[in-house]
Structure 1
């Protein structure tokens, strides 16, 4: 997952992750990418489009 520089760390992505794989820490997001199933729920939930998949 790529977090763009304009991420506000609002926690919307963490709140919708069905597997609870995202944690909001002080000025950062921590992803458990090895357990992610690429459902894109977090990407769709971001109100400012600050998340995208890594190629």
Structure 2
């Protein structure tokens, strides 16, 4: 799995960072999400899928191999 993140679409809601804190974080200055691990291991797939599903701006796209 690879994460593609559309930063301009991010509304800084923080849902991704709450659901998958090892994969996403937020910038301190504006709250926009940061991808910490663009290719997470299989043990994180469920939380990454949930993070993408709860993103209110649909800024997270998952490319599953």
Alignment of 1:1-55 (within 5 A): 1-4=3-6, 5-17=8-20, 20-25=22-27, 26=29, 27-37=32-42, 38-39=45-46, 40-54=49-63
RMSD across aligned C-alpha pairs, in angstroms?
2.3
Higher helix fraction (1 or 2): 2
Aligned length: 54
- Give per-residue Cα distances to partners, 1:12-48, cap 9 Å, x unaligned: 111112x632111144413223444322011011012
CA radius of gyration, larger in? 2
Q: TM-score, normalised by structure 1?
A: 0.66
* Closer/same/farther in 2, CA of residues 28 and 21 from structure 1, 3 Å limit: closer
